[in-house]
Amino acid sequence: MKVGIVGAGMVGSAAGFAIAMRGAASEVVFVDRNMALARAQQEDIHHAVPFAEGCRLGAGDYDCLAGAGIVILAAGVAQKPGESRLSLLARNADVFAEVIGKVRAHAPEALLVVASNPVDIMTEVAQRASGLPPERVIGTGTLLDTARFRTLVAGHLGVSSHSVHGFVLGEHGDSEVLAWSSARVGAEPLDRIAVQLGVEITEEVRAKIDEGVRRAAYRIIEGKGATWYGIGAGLARLVLAIRDDQRAVLSLSIRTPHVAGVEDVAVSLPRVVGAAGVVSTLVPSLDPPEWEALHRSAALLKDSTKGLW
């Protein structure tokens, strides 16, 4: 499968590197208004290919996207230290208005994967601008937040993060919802496994993990200016799920008719992902406070799009 990446900055290049290293695509091409940057990223990653899987690398204008099965949209301005993702909206919506038409003209059959922040709203912007069905315009949403949640829970329990199953729902941002009530380790509820392991899951522990997930991006941005490795790996995982029609369950954002009493909003829920894009949506069991939090998160996103269309 050929994958196009529009935006050769830190997120786009990390995605290209992760995709090439995992052998998730047979070809990766970069498009960026800074052609020198796109070509430099392509060449640098190309030199890493002999150490990993076979993958062709390219860079050029939008016409090089022809034949791509997936186009990752990583274009846009970066989040500033202390700036919320939602405050990026006006600046990045302008960038997307220019990009979407060019992508569709040269890669009309491609699935669109949105990585630019604020990702939930930019996913809805991309879906409306492209005219594609919602299931073919997928935002990374809380894919990375879910990975952070599982990693921190696993670290507290002393088990592998691969054995922790839990989701972060709602906005990729400050209102996101950690679904503690449906979290599992192996096939068993989190609290039951914690007792067996002799590890307490107190309110203090939950609050610490919640803060670790919810504030991770802000700490990383303060330290190095942006986040890119985690989401780059997440994008490679999503590409594999689509390429191989895996029907994998991943927490992703698409425009959704009904979410916790809010209509027609792009928000993250567990999605079944395959070659056609999102083929099903799953709703985990939540306790009443989590349902209320998910409603608030979806309502916030819905309110943030007022006046855009």
Residues taking part in catalysis = 172
Enumerate the β-bridge partners of residue 252.
269
Q: How far apart are CA 229 and CA 190, in angstroms?
A: 28
